[in-house]
Chain A
């Protein structure tokens, strides 16, 4: 790391930075890096911005930035390469971005979003545009003392504070920041300016722990991701719910654009003149009508309902299956932006609270499939349905959903989860045991 010339030595990986030294510290960073931090603009919106002069902007560490910082790793529009045609044929000019950056004031959800991007862009053939930027960017996370209105990172197990993945993590202790160094390059960065820091004392450590506990207790929303994923695996979301979500979706793509983990992209050419142009990559969204449309017109996800369903299956179930974590970090930005309430927060609550009567047909379907596959007997199935009926009620304003049939069967030891998943046509894959590649 170019700035870490070892001017001082850090005695420990837990440090204290007094708030009056913050701007001086950030000013130092701008000498060797492009500094990105949450800035409150004149419209009152907080956004991650490149900061050239620390003293000319108002850095906002109170509000969670409206957009995730993903554009600093995959810009909304980026040039992959330029092409040019002349007598000798085509030549390419590969776009490269090797600016060393520091992103300061990332929220835990955002850092977790970047860790999810790592999985996608490193898997298989490596995406150098992403990895080059990632390699040269230092992440300074700021844990959240006060979860926002729509935040549910605690339920998503991605916050409010991180235990790994950051280069540096800060906790606001009022007059000072508690500073943790994670990966070596975070430590190297601080070592360059060790005079800003003092080692944390036991009192500081205790105080930080209290802040974490207090913050964890402040969440308005507690969502059961596992229960929601089980509903998807067991196909227990009533068709009527998908219909409704499809009707309400306006295909705006906003949910995907604000999401820290949504990574789908489009590639196309942008002609400059007759002889030259650029191949561009832009963000895309699976809710757009043309996302899956083939030349010739066939579209496997023609219907809005199918696209919405795909979105939630992908983010909750398929990514969990593939990477062992769902691709929702609980930042709540989709809930902030979607006026149709087809966001992750509303969706998980909706399917976990759906009235038992609407999920009845789906229960029958799972039962029939298991019977057909010879995995349970009719007698066992009847018994499970009888037991299951006693687990919910539809009276009063707040119906309590019955336990999913799949869960009931598993609990009674009649069939295991994997068998259910297989029966429904999904194979549970354990990371690291890719068994479906033949060559």
Chain B
């Protein structure tokens, strides 16, 4: 291990899975054996991903820490850097450093019913936690997963979305904004799934990730359903350069998304002055 927090570790791309037209899941293996052995993370944490000549970008880990040795990043093509990552092939090297950030409060979730609500690529960090929960199935209560995508072809992790409902006490509901001719499922924002989901704030924690607008509508409904502000957990996305609490870019009020977040409870989030 080096003592330079800005120096990335090299990782080889072992597998690339095309989730949708603009989302790919990259399976990585660290080149340094010692680092590979010592590497561990928690669901909700992120990595700073280097594409040399282009720079770095923060990406949530989408694999489960219950499967040691596996590091997956599911990346949506959003800007020039993520575009360049999409151009990579199996066997290519990229740089990664991390894991960084405050994770989902896994210990608090034990024994509780869990409601996951995701929009678009927001399912990536939740996938890490969902698979972790399902890998340790007996430790958690009922699992309900709601996902909203723009169109049927924008739904990522299709294989898992169909595998998860087969687990004990697990339910998955998916909706799209714009259906195609073959879509038989729900249509509309993710909040249209409440009736089918049959959830209550009783003994349940909600974990949400998606675009800011989706988060605010979902939170409003959850509060009405009786969820307490501490039991609504979400993640925030901000521009980041260092990932380690120095560069100042990801600040929100007196907090830094990279070290104080990216996971916040709603009680914490509502105190953050979003434009300060």
Contacts and interface: CB of A to CB of B under 8 A. Distances in A.
Interface string B96-119: 000000110100000000000000
A382 B6 CA distance: 55
A127 B254 contact: no
Contact of B54 (A81, A269, A317): A269
B231 interface: no
Contact of B6 (A279, A291, A293, A295): A279
Contacts of B82: 295
A267 B56 contact: yes
Name the interface size band of chain A: 35 or more
Interface stretch (B123-131, B138-146, B166-174, B245-253): B245-253
A85 B249 CA distance: 30
A279 B53 CA distance: 8
A436 B10 CA distance: 32
**For B6, B50, B79, B272, which residue has the most chain A Cβ atoms within 10 angstroms?**
B6
Given A89-B31, A295-B81, A286 B248 contact: yes
Contacts of B55: 267-269, 279
Contacts of B78: 295-296
Given A80-B6, A90-B95, A300 B53 contact: no
B197 interface: no
A292 B53 contact: no
A317 to B, nearest CB: 8
B254 A124 contact: no
Nearest to B271: A425
B158 interface: no
Nearest to B3: A128
Nearest to B56: A267
B254 A322 contact: yes
Contacts of B7: 80-81, 92, 94
A310 B259 CA distance: 19
B6 A266 contact: no
A126 B6 CA distance: 10
Interface in A384-439: 425-427, 429, 436-439
Contacts of B272: 425
Contacts of A427: 271
A382 to B, nearest CB: 28
A263 interface: yes
Contact of B242 (A85, A94, A265): A265
26 contacts: A80-B4, A80-B6, A85-B52, A90-B52, A94-B4, A94-B7, A120-B246, A127-B5, A264-B248, A265-B241, A269-B53, A269-B55, A284-B247, A286-B248, A294-B238, A294-B239, A300-B275, A309-B276, A314-B251, A321-B254, A322-B254, A425-B272, A426-B253, A426-B271, A436-B260, A438-B102
Among all A-B residue pairs, the 4 with the closest Cβ atoms: A295-B79, A264-B248, A425-B271, A318-B254
Given A89-B31, A284-B248, A284-B249, 6 more contacts: A81-B4, A124-B245, A124-B259, A127-B246, A295-B81, A322-B254
